[in-house]
Amino acid sequence: MPEQIKDRWDISLLVKAFYTKVREDEMLGPIFAQHLSKEEWPEHLEKLTDFWESNLFGVAKFRGNPVEKHLQVDKTANHTIEQVHFGRWLQLWLETIDSLYIGDLADLAKVKARKMATRQYLAIWHNRPAE
């Protein structure tokens, strides 16, 4: 039965469940596999937990530049990352939240993810080399 997001442990559970789906996804899994080895995932999941804890609870834990990371991913993928990739990412995120959580913070995580997906894709699109 879904519950409220209460603390970092809940965010960690959400992040781990979500990225398990992402890694198994036919569209997204290969992109992530190209950038993260199996050994790098635990540290990456902690960083993503920091990111969402910062965004949902307002604690200053996350350090990093998501735009720069996404630009690197797009460059490595020969500038083939498209809106459909972010749409799939968002679909999996929303499904994972809905399977685990309800309430204001769950709703906030959905809103922030929608905005983030849009911002990340626009950053990629605006920073692509001229054809």
> How far are the Cα atoms of 4, 70, 97, 99 from residue 67, in angstroms, in the given order?
29, 5, 23, 28
Residue 131: pLDDT over 80: no
Nearest to 79 by CA among 127, 37, 117: 127
Residues 48-75 have a mean pLDDT of 93
CA 116 – CA 130 distance, rounded (Å): 24
Query: What span, in angstroms and rounded, lies between the C-alpha atoms of 34 and 77?
Result: 9
Return the domain boundaries, the chain. 3-126
| Tokens describing residue 82 | 């498209």
pLDDT tier, 28 (very low <50, low <70, confident <90, very high otherwise): very high
Closest to 13 measured CA to CA, from 43, 62, 39, 48: 48
State the average pLDDT over residues 82-86. Answer: 96
Report d(CA 128, CA 81) in Å as an integer. 11
pLDDT value for 29: 96
Percentage of the residues of the chain whose pLDDT score is greater than 90: 92
Choosing among 3.20.20.80, 1.10.490.10, 3.40.190.10, 3.40.50.300, the CATH entry for 3-126 is 1.10.490.10
Closest Cα partner for 69 from 34, 29, 104, 25?
Answer: 34
Q: Take residue 124 and report the two structure tokens written for it.
A: 């990629």
